[in-house]
Amino acid sequence: MFSIAYSKTMYALNRCCYEGCTKIALSSIDSDGNLREEEGFCLEHSPNPEYATQKIKNYILTHEKIVGLNASYITFSEFEIENKKFYGCNFQHCTFRNVHSNNLRARMCMFDFSTFTDCNFPASNMQFSSFAGSKFVHTVCTGSDLIHNNFNGATAYQSSFDDSDLYNSRFIKSVLINTSMANCNLKKVAFYESVREGVSFHLSNTREALIDRSEGGLIGDVS
């Protein structure tokens, strides 16, 4: 059971110190490698964005459990994060390229408007997290628990969610192209107003998915 208090896991909502900027500041990390809740800059206005990026990457690599980290707009490329646990972290507008993690854990994390390309996250457990407006290209999340997540407006191209539990997740207005959700639990998964081309739902319980509002949300087979 997930029992960490919600208020203790969310990232600090400190605004960027640059005048007129409304973005959230990147997390500050002290000399001992600990997160500090203090004023700072977003990646765009950081005095040394490369240094700020590397400090956040090093923090992730040297910690098994990451709580309340704000890393928005950072690019993660050729990144290995095996068995990491993320709680209440902000990865909005990030770019993930060739990122690989087996057994990734995430709770109440924000990945909105991020891009995942050639990434692999098998056997992951991501719950109560948001991927709204994100793009998945050649990305694999097979054998995972992806429960109570928000994929509204997301785009998935040649990606795989096979053998995963997607219970009560949302793909409203999403675009799914040549993507596979075979042998998945689709109970209460909402696909309202989504575009689905070349999508495989082989062996998935499509009768329990929510597809058409006018039909009460339940249909037989998903095309």
The DSSP call for residue 33 is: S
Environment class of residue 98 by beta-carbon count within 10 Å: exposed (0-12), middle (13-18) or buried (19+)?
middle
C-alpha Rg value of the chain to the nearest Å: 18
Per DSSP, the three-state class of 19 is: coil
**pLDDT tens, position by position, 69-106:** 999 999 999 999 999 999 999 999 999 999 999 999 99
Note the pLDDT tens digit of each residue in 11-35.
Answer: 878 899 999 999 999 999 988 888 9
Amino acid in the structure at residue 40: G
Q: What phi and psi, each to the nearest 5 degrees, are found at residue 213?
A: -60, -35
Determine the Cα–Cα distance for residues 161 and 167; give it in Å rounded to an integer.
Answer: 12
Residue with tokens 């994929």: 151
- Determine the average pLDDT of the residues in 134-151: 98
What is residue 187's three-state secondary structure?
A: coil
- Read off the pLDDT of each residue in 128-146 and give the average, rounded to a whole number: 98
- Read off the tokens for 94: 């990030």
